Amino acid sequence: MKFFKPSLLFLLVLVFGTHNLLAQVKPIFINGEAQIIPELKDSANWIRTDLWVETEFDTDGDGKKDRMHVDVTRPQQTETEGLKLPVVYASSPYYAGTAGSAPIFWDVKHELGAVAKPRNKAEVVRTGKRPIISNTEIMLWVPRGYIVVHSSSPGTGLSQGSPTVGGDNESLAPKAVIEWLTGKDNGYTTPDGNEKVMAFWSIGKVGMTGTSYNGTLPLAAATTGVKGLEAIIPIAPNTSYYHYYRSNGLVRSPGGYLGEDIDVLYDFIHSGDESKRAYNNKTVRDTEMAQGMDRATGDYNDFWAGRDYINDMGPMKAALLMSHGFNDWNVMPEHSYRIYDAARAKGIPAKIYYHQNGHGGPPPFAMMNQWFTKYLHGVDNGVEEGPKAYIVRERDEQSNPTPYEDFPNPEASDVNFYLKAGAPAAGSMSLKKKTTGKQETLVDNYSFSGSALAQADYTEHRLIYLSPVLTEPIHISGIPKITVKLASNKPAANLSVWLVSLPWTEGRNAKITDNIITRGWADPQNHSSIRKGEPLVPGKFYEVTFDLQPDDQIIPAGQQIGLMIFSSDAEYTLLPKPGTELTIDLVGTVLTLPIVGGKGRMEKAVK
């Protein structure tokens, strides 16, 4: 008769239990940051799978709830040792390809208010193979004790549904994925089958990040208030499609994409099931968008309100680390600030990182690491305490921001500047208000770029007003604004404003911060209401007040701050035939700059 001889493993299990024995791998934290775990850094040992998560909507008209294509990258220990980890999640409409350089933009050379000729359409050729949707984020986060998940947005790649470019389904899709990651049984092994798959390896805490459109979707998910989404790090997110494609009533393109509009972006990303595209195009692009986007007036309406995430922030509770560039003229810096400002007003843990460059640019990795370590791993590292704003100064590396109490700088206060005539050469700006003055007129001509107009010594196509030469640096921090009192000789006109630093620096030595301080655009027809413009009475004066883009910039001694007012902006606006005249009443026109140290500091710098 043989007796069973217990193994060492069996005895250890009896004494300590399976959980304590098997869960050998544990996250490592030093100085409040998750560290690379030796057992997790070999990608050959990662498990990569894909699946479909069912949502609560049907946007492709097939009578079935749309399912989103999801991929998962996780350490093998989540399978073999019972290891459970938090999730870093990224979602995108770009993973399966785009329309690329297809000529699908609107023609912008037509009169204001006119109906543009029809634009070209394009079909996306879908790319990518299963099971990998994307390789982004995995090398950063998996070795540090996270699982990385990607999903394709509705109507893109192998995800079902239709793109809506900011519609409700683009918020509800990542919500459904997060619900699956926190225990809901809405995951399936195939797009149409019934075999379920569970996220048994997730601890139910999710963080999202991404850049541009991919940075918009973390915010979209957060506005649903979905349980388990603990933290987001949006980088250069588009937080309002109105602010992206319009400006204060004006039809205005994003920088670098003259003639783009929301329907163009729809065509650009629509890489989903070819058999569903005709229905999607008819329902979304050719009906909802065609009826709502209104390229004729540029007015704000319910269509645009439904694609503005600031209107949906009521349920939001995810901790927010926002990132943006002050010289991002694609997705402009107002997009991040408006959400950050609303989040801190709600009492949500929030910080903002701004650099001086263009589109994209994440916070330093250590900052992101600490953010996710705090809110996903639950390590009390104090990341939510201390300075709320981190600004990269003009000559510093993006990895070396300067901490400030907040943005705008609390030491900044508004300073008004008043104008003195000088056209067609340069006029001047003064801190002293004039009670009498004159009017000056500019003639619209889009043939001259904004940079050419700023550098011109003498031209009728813009008005420019210069401060005295600065004897000391001036720190602008916040949101400049302007009131322009103007009259037009036509019922409609573009209004463009640039704030520049002169003399202009050209060539290889020019830095992105050297010339343009900030910019803004507006439609004078919307002087009273952003929702309802009215034709201008030729010769009648109107006051138009609007914000310029947020900025935090130090203007060095030796420069002059210049306010340039012109009409059509060759890089951004519709381009009517030259000849429209704008007359500016200088007494009724005021530029307001938020200056650290206020008026006293400015007075000292222009003595």
Express each pLDDT in 385-404 by its tens digit: 999 999 999 999 999 999 99
For residue range 499-532, list pLDDT tens digits in order: 999 999 988 778 888 999 999 999 999 999 999 9
Scan for tokens 């203007």, then name that residue.
Answer: 555
Number of Cβ atoms within 10 Å of the Cβ of 388: 18
Q: At how many degrees (to 10) do helices 169-181 and 213-222 cross?
A: 70
pLDDT value for 114: 92
For residue range 314-368, list pLDDT tens digits in order: 999 999 999 999 999 999 999 999 999 999 999 999 999 999 999 999 999 999 9
Same-domain pairing of 40 and 166: yes
Same-domain pairing of 204 and 290: yes
For residue range 204-225, list pLDDT tens digits in order: 999 999 999 999 999 999 999 9
Confidence label for 12 from pLDDT (cuts 50, 70 and 90): very low
Task: Give backbone dihedrals phi and psi of 305, rounded to 5 degrees, phi first.
Answer: -60, -35
For residue range 477-504, list pLDDT tens digits in order: 999 999 999 999 999 999 999 999 999 9
> What are the catalytic residues?
212, 328, 359
Confidence label for 19 from pLDDT (cuts 50, 70 and 90): very low
3-class SS shares of the chain: helix, strand, coil, % to 5: 25, 30, 50
354 within 8 A of 389, measured Cβ to Cβ:
yes
- Give the pLDDT mean for 401-417: 98
Confidence label for 129 from pLDDT (cuts 50, 70 and 90): confident
DSSP, residue by residue, 93-121: S-TT---TT-S-PPP--S-TTPPPPPPP-
Domain boundary among 352, 370, 404: 404
Same-domain pairing of 225 and 315: yes
Domain boundary among 384, 404, 424: 404
Q: What whole-number distance in Å separates Cα of residue 562 and Cα of residue 465? A: 5
Question: Within a domain: residue 462?
Answer: yes
Question: Within a domain: residue 108?
Answer: no
Question: Within a domain: residue 278?
Answer: yes
pLDDT value for 336: 98
Same-domain pairing of 400 and 426: no
Same-domain pairing of 383 and 366: yes
Same-domain pairing of 399 and 473: no
Same-domain pairing of 145 and 259: yes
Closest Cα partner for 498 from 465, 527, 468? 465
Question: Within a domain: residue 7?
Answer: no
Q: What percent of the chain has pLDDT over 70?
A: 96
Question: Within a domain: residue 6?
Answer: no
Same-domain pairing of 323 and 375: yes
Question: Within a domain: residue 18?
Answer: no
Reply yes or no on whether the pLDDT at 444 is more than 50: yes
Q: Name the residue type at position 533.
A: G
Same-domain pairing of 389 and 420: no
For residue range 212-269, list pLDDT tens digits in order: 999 999 999 999 999 999 999 999 999 999 999 999 999 999 999 999 999 999 999 9
pLDDT value for 199: 98
Q: What whole-number distance in Å separates Cα of residue 287 and Cα of residue 39? A: 53
- Give the pLDDT mean for 171-197: 98
Reply yes or no on whether the pLDDT at 9 is more than 80: no
Same-domain pairing of 457 and 328: no
Cα dihedral 456, 461, 462, 468 sign? positive
Q: Which domain range does residue 45 map to?
A: 28-103+115-404
Total domains in the fold of the chain: 2
Task: Give backbone dihedrals phi and psi of 132, rounded to 5 degrees, phi first.
Answer: -85, 120
Same-domain pairing of 427 and 343: no
DSSP, residue by residue, 118-131: PPP---------SS
Q: What whole-number distance in Å separates Cα of residue 320 and Cα of residue 232? A: 5
Same-domain pairing of 518 and 387: no
Reply yes or no on whether the pLDDT at 535 is more than 50: yes
578 within 8 A of 443, measured Cβ to Cβ:
yes
Question: Within a domain: residue 23?
Answer: no
Confidence label for 177 from pLDDT (cuts 50, 70 and 90): very high
Reply yes or no on whether the pLDDT at 14 is more than 70: no
**For residue 395, what are its two tokens?**
């000559």
Domain boundary among 361, 388, 404: 404
Supply the CATH number for residue 252's domain.
3.40.50.1820
Q: Output b/e per residue, 267-304; b: 16+ Cβ within 10 A.
A: bbbbbbbeebbeebbebbbeebbeebbebebbbbbebb
Q: What percent of the chain has pLDDT over 90?
A: 93
Supply the CATH number for residue 435's domain.
2.60.120.260
